[in-house]
């Protein structure tokens, strides 16, 4: 199995939803139950046995850089977006020279409990069937999540966009495996990860697996309290 040897941790967001907490602190450094979000994300990476991580930087970049300076497991490299925010897809594309052919993509603003999200992904990764594998969670297990959901799961296990439906049963948790090939022929500059996913959806090469634990979107100050509760239980 050609499992990923590197992880892309998305940490460049402005954190506007988290104001005022993020006025002086980049969102990934906000502590939840005493441990900063970015460290929690990197802990998952290390626990899954992935040796390398790439963290992209934009907002308050020097603080993040200094915070991660001493980290050895995983080994951390930085992808600098201080000149220009590249959005999720553009951020990954810029970091491709550090990632290799197959890699994890992980948001730094979510809390997963239960099984290691990366281990769940790695176990379900089947080269030949997919160019991206998304970790989803049932809406009922997504804490502080109030939006409509992102995907249905078809009978064949393949994800389908919510589309015009009022709600969808599954939410993207911010963890995925992707291949470098998924980023061929992408536009210059910023673009969302939704762009490569939509292309893969059209050819049946986007797959999904469901996270068996609980997931908390720490996008807002309320989310932190919910996350701390989830971690305590």
Partner 1 sequence: MTDGARVFAVPPGVAYAPAFVAGWQARFGALDPLDRARSLILVNSRRSQAALEAALAAAGLGLLPRLVPIDAGLEDQDLAPAIDPLRRQLWLTRLVGAYLSRTDTAAPPAAAADLAEALARLLDQVQEEGVGLARLSTLAPDSLAGHWQRTVAFLDILREAWPAILAGEGALDPAARAHAAVAARVATWAADPPRHPVVVAGSTGSRPGTARLIAAAARLPQGAVVLPGFDPDLPAEIWDSVGPDHPMHPFKRLLTALDMVPRDVALWHGAASSPARARLWAEALRPAPVTDAWIAAADGLGAAAPEATAGISLIEATSPRHEAAAIALAMRQGLEVPGQRVALVTPDATLARRVTVELARFGIVPDDSLGRPLLQSPAGVFWHLVAEAAEPDADAVKLAALFAHPLACPGTTRAEHLRHARAYERAVLRRGPTRGLAPWPPDTAERVTPPEAVAWRAAVATALAGLTAAQGSGLSARLAAHLAAAEAMSTPPGEAPQVWAGADGTALAQALARVIQAAPALGDAPVADYPGLMRACLADQTLRPEPGRAHPRVAIRGPREGRIEGADLVILGGLNEGTWPAAPGTDPWLSRPMRRSLGLEAPEALIGLSAHDFLLGAMTPAVILTRSLRAEGTPQIAARWWVRLVTLLQGVAPDALAAMRARGQGFHDLVARLHLPQASVPRAPRPAPCPPVAARPRQLSVTEVERLIRDAYDIYAKRVLRLRPLDPLGRAPEARDRGQVIHAILHRFVTVTTPDWPDDATARTLLLDITDQVLAETVAWPDLRRLWRGRVRRFAAFLIEGERQRRAEGRPAALETAGAIILDAPAGPFTLTARADRIDDLGGGTAAIFDYKSAAPPSAKQIGLFAQQLHLQGVILDRGGFAEIPGLRAHSGAYIGLSGVGSSTTVADLGPEVALAAERLARLIADFDDPQTPYLAWGRAEKVGDVGDYDHLSRRAEWQGDAE
101 is a site residue for partner 1 (CB under 8 A)? yes
Taking the complex as a whole, how short is the minimal distance between the CB of residue 69 and partner 1, in angstroms?
A: 11
Give the residue with the Cβ less far from partner 1, 3 or 138: 3
Element (H, E) at 170: strand 170-179
Q: List the interface residues with partner 1, window 12-51 (CB under 8 A).
A: none
Angle between helices 194-202 and 87-95 (to 10 degrees): 90
150 in helix, strand or coil?
coil
Q: How far does Cα 26 stand from its chain's mean position?
A: 17
Q: Which residue has the tokens 């969302």?
A: 192
Taking the complex as a whole, how short is the minimal distance between the CB of residue 96 and partner 1, in angstroms?
A: 5
Taking the complex as a whole, how short is the minimal distance between the CB of residue 115 and partner 1, in angstroms?
A: 23
99 is a site residue for partner 1 (CB under 8 A)? yes
Stretch touching partner 1 by CB under 8 A, among 18-26, 39-47, 140-148, 201-209? 201-209
Cα 178 from Cα 180, distance rounded (Å): 7
Within 13 Å of residue 215, how many CA atoms lie on the same side as its CB?
28
Residues that bind partner 1 (CB under 8 A): 1-3, 5-6, 52, 54, 75, 77, 96-102, 126-128, 130-131, 179-184, 202-205
């Amino acid at each position: 199995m050609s499992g990923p040897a590197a992880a892309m941790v998305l940490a460049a967001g402005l954190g506007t939803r988290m104001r005022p907490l993020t006025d002086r602190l980049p969102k990934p450094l906000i502590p939840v139950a005493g441990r900063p979000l970015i460290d929690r994300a990197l802990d998952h990476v290390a626990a899954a046995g992935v040796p390398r991580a790439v963290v992209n930087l934009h907002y308050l970049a020097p603080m993040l850089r200094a915070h991660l300076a001493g980290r050895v497991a995983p080994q951390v490299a930085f992808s600098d977006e201080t000149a220009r925010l590249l959005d999720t897809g553009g951020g990954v594309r810029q970091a491709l020279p550090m990632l290799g052919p197959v890699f994890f993509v992980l948001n730094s603003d979510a809390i997963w409990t239960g099984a290691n999200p990366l281990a769940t992904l790695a176990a379900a990764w089947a080269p030949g069937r997919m160019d991206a594998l998304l970790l989803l969670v049932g809406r009922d297990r997504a804490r502080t999540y109030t939006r409509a959901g992102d995907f249905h799961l078809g009978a064949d296990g393949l994800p389908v966009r919510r589309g015009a439906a009022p709600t969808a049963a599954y939410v993207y948790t911010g963890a995925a495996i992707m291949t470098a090939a998924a980023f061929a022929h992408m536009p210059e500059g910023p673009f969302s990860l939704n762009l490569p996913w939509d292309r893969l959806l059209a050819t049946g090469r986007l797959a999904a697996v469901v996270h068996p634990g609980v997931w908390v979107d720490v996008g807002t100050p309320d989310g932190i309290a919910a996350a701390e509760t989830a971690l305590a239980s």
